[in-house]
Chains A and B, each alone.
Chain A
Amino acid sequence: MKKIKYSEITPEVVYKKRRSFLKSLGYGLGSISLGSFSMINNSFANTNLNEPTSYEDITTYNNYYEFGTGKSDPYRKSQEFKTKPWTVRIEGEVETPIDLSMEEILSTFNSEERIQRLRCVEGWSMIIPWMGFSLSELLNKVKIKSAAKFVEFETVYDPEQMIGQRRPVLNWPYTEGLRLDEAMHPLTTVVTGLYGKTLPNQNGAPLRIFVPWKYGFKSAKAIVKIKLTKNMPVSSWMDASPREYGFYSNVNPKVNHPRWSQATERPINGDIFTPRIETLMFNGYGDEVAQLYSGMDLKKYF
């Protein structure tokens, strides 16, 4: 496999900033005083918070327990993962179940760049330039029965290749779900690429879901099955700890989590002086998605 140099992809601003970090830190510690610290602090306060996170950070800092629970495990342990051949099955409450090969999917649907915010339930965030298309386009390939109310996503189960699946850390295969109207929302994306390139294995290759207004774990990776169901699916995280992880898991600064602050988040950029920023309701996508939940008590249905 051809290795891509990070410098070729990382936006130049981000790249340069990382180098200049050392310099400013040097100055800061050289003259030890609180004043110099806050000076640095200010100069970094708004650095690139609206720029996409660097390719390096997006591809080396991942939660993907199929390859291990450490943040760098997916990068280190997924490089040999085989994504060819790959088939996605759409089944359940549909007129005729179908199997789509990855080649068919890539030739049928046009992937466009979609820069979306990722908010992890652990209190950190990234801005990611995905390549992808709306899940609704894919679902429109089948006739959905009127009984279907939910969509369940299933990640591939392959402990031979996914060493994290050899231990029962979660109830494998990884399962996630959305309400049908959430799944049909145009922001719900089928991701096929990143930074204009093929999706790296550690980010969920060859195909993953991305739901930008929900915590990251809702966006299942390496999808092999999409099932339309009558009943609300039980996701792997709900199964692991129903008190902590609800079915909806919309980004919501008002719903407290026993471990992580959900009121604020730390933008990932490898800089120790970047302050936390406020977490926005629906991760900032409220205008687009709030109407999906009108009349619902989102503290109860967290």
Chain B
Amino acid sequence: MKKYFKPIIFLLSSIPFIIIISKIFLNQLGPEPIKEITLHTGEWTLLFLVFTLSMTPLKRLTNLNIWISARRMLGLFAFFYASLHMLTYIGLDYQFDLSAISKDIFTKKFIFVGFTAWLLMVPLAITSSKKMMGILKKNWKKLHRLIYLISILGVIHFLWLVKKDLTEPLIYLLIIVILLILRVNFNRSESKIS
């Protein structure tokens, strides 16, 4: 079971990518396909951030270390979908019109926080390997705590772009806040033990 765990997670995590690619080829994205691709990749970025943040609480709840072995891959998938999201916006939506894009980044606060969140993911992706973990030692953990900030920025990005119905982003916010509170509690109980 343990042997197949990571390959299974990899295959499952690729499904949203396969879905969007096949929808593009089968012309099933409706009248505004670029928006559909943007929403799909954005939504899956948030979900993968949630999955990544869930691994530590899951480990504590189930007492199984296997969850931690999937954490890096899930985090990298979050970065993968975030990058597709960005590329859709820059390449398909604005067709690399950099002046329009930079104007957007500095005049629309939801794009500013979204872009910031993506930028913050870059160092995490670069330092995700075991080798980098060895090099950075204690600093690695500190650096990778950025994921908390990234997820919150991600949800703010969603909240600010919604026109009227805030239900969906508020659900994400609730889940992420719960996951963060769980961690605070774990850390506290941990320090009590030691």
Binding site for B on A (CB under 8 A): 18, 21-22, 25-26, 41, 56-57, 60-61, 65, 69, 71-72, 122, 124, 169-170, 240, 256, 258-259, 261, 263-264, 266, 268-273, 275-276
Q: Which residue of A lies closest to B161 (CB)?
A: A259
Given contacts A22-B25, A69-B164, contact A266 B34 (CB under 8 A): yes
B159 to chain A, nearest CB (A): 11
A272 touches B34 (CB 8 A): yes
Given contacts A259-B160, A272-B37, A276-B95, contact A18 B27 (CB under 8 A): yes
Interface segment, one of B7-15, B104-112, B136-144 = B104-112
A270 touches B110 (CB 8 A): no
- Give the docked Cα–Cα distance between A273 and B95 (Å): 9
B19 to chain A, nearest CB (A): 16
A259 touches B25 (CB 8 A): no
* B contacts with A: majority SS: helix
A272 touches B30 (CB 8 A): no
| A-B contact number at CB 8 A | 70
Which residues on A sit within 8 Å (CB–CB) of B109?
Answer: 258
- Give the docked Cα–Cα distance between A57 and B100 (Å): 27
A269 touches B31 (CB 8 A): yes
A261 touches B95 (CB 8 A): no
Which residues on A sit within 8 Å (CB–CB) of B161?
Answer: 259
Which residues on B sit within 8 Å (CB–CB) of A21?
Answer: 27
Which residues on A sit within 8 Å (CB–CB) of B66?
Answer: none
Which residues on B sit within 8 Å (CB–CB) of A69?
Answer: 163-165
Tell me if B24 is interfacial: C-beta within 8 Å of chain A.
yes
Which residues on B sit within 8 Å (CB–CB) of A169?
Answer: 164-165
- Give the docked Cα–Cα distance between A22 and B110 (Å): 33
What are 12 residue pairs bridging A and B, where the CB atoms are less than 8 Å apart in the complex? A18-B27, A61-B30, A61-B31, A71-B31, A71-B32, A122-B163, A259-B161, A266-B32, A270-B32, A271-B33, A272-B24, A275-B95
Which residues on B sit within 8 Å (CB–CB) of A269?
Answer: 31
Tell me if B173 is interfacial: C-beta within 8 Å of chain A.
no
Q: Which residue of B lies closest to A41 (CB)?
A: B95
Binding site for A on B (CB under 8 A): 24-25, 27, 29-35, 37, 92-95, 97, 100, 104, 107-110, 160-161, 163-165
A6 to chain B, nearest CB (A): 12
A216 to chain B, nearest CB (A): 13
- Give the docked Cα–Cα distance between A136 and B35 (Å): 37
B110 to chain A, nearest CB (A): 6
Which residues on B sit within 8 Å (CB–CB) of A57?
Answer: 31
Given contacts A170-B164, A264-B100, A275-B95, contact A270 B108 (CB under 8 A): no
In the complex, besides A69-B165, A270-B32, A272-B92, 13 extra interface pairs with C-beta distance below 8 angstroms are: A22-B27, A60-B30, A65-B164, A71-B32, A169-B164, A258-B110, A259-B110, A259-B161, A261-B104, A264-B100, A268-B31, A272-B33, A275-B95
Which residues on A sit within 8 Å (CB–CB) of B93?
Answer: 266, 276
Which residues on B sit within 8 Å (CB–CB) of A263?
Answer: 100
A270 touches B31 (CB 8 A): yes
A155 to chain B, nearest CB (A): 16
B85 to chain A, nearest CB (A): 15
Which residues on A sit within 8 Å (CB–CB) of B94?
Answer: 276
